[in-house]
């Protein structure tokens, strides 16, 4: 695909009746054909058990774990993650980062952290994507509430 802004409209109509499903997705193809989608937050904690659940609420408790997942198209060599405080300083909390391939074209970068050692406040997970000699940083903010 050529670099630029794209809109994908999808409509599914069930064969057995029922309401159709419609969705619209906006995405950007960067120069070089590589695509980095919007990050999504996932939560794991007392309410979810051992499962990670996608959440739209960026507020977490210290008993939770946070995971950031970023969809990627194109070749990815690796990913790393860091936890930053609201001043932008790196926190001494380990962030486990990995990439996984979904299929022939889609790959995911993820960064995960345990929130127990942190105080209530605002934080950012910085995920760094390595593509050959270039790097891309994605910042994902969240808040720890009491």
**pLDDT at position 18:** 84
Instruction: Give per-residue pLDDT as tens, 91-101.
Output: 999 999 999 98
Q: Kindly report the pTM of this predicted structure.
A: 0.73
Which residues does residue 20 pair with via DSSP β-bridges, in sequence order? none
Domain-located, residue 113 = yes
Domain-located, residue 85 = yes
Domain interval for residue 103: 35-144
CA–CA separation, 54 and 46 (whole Å): 15
Domain-located, residue 107 = yes
∠142-143-144 over CA atoms, to 5°? Answer: 130
CA–CA separation, 146 and 137 (whole Å): 29
**DSSP string covering 3-25:** SEEEEEEEEE--TTSS--EEEEE
Say which CATH number the domain at 79 has. 2.60.40.10
CA–CA separation, 3 and 9 (whole Å): 19
């Amino acid at each position: 695909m050529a670099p630029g802004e794209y809109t994908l409209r999808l409509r599914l109509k069930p064969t057995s009746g029922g309401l159709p499903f419609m969705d619209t997705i906006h995405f950007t193809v960067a120069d070089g054909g590589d695509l980095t989608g919007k990050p999504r937050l996932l939560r794991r904690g007392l309410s979810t058990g051992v499962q990670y659940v996608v959440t739209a609420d960026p507020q977490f408790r210290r008993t939770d774990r946070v995971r950031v997942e970023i969809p990627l198209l194109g070749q990815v060599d690796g990913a790393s993650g860091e936890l930053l405080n609201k001043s932008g300083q790196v926190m001494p909390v380990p962030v486990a980062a990995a990439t996984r391939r979904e299929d022939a074209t889609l790959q995911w970068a993820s960064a995960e952290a345990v929130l127990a050692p942190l105080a209530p406040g605002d934080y950012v997970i910085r995920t760094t994507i390595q593509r050959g000699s270039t790097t891309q940083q994605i910042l994902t903010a969240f808040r720890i509430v009491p």
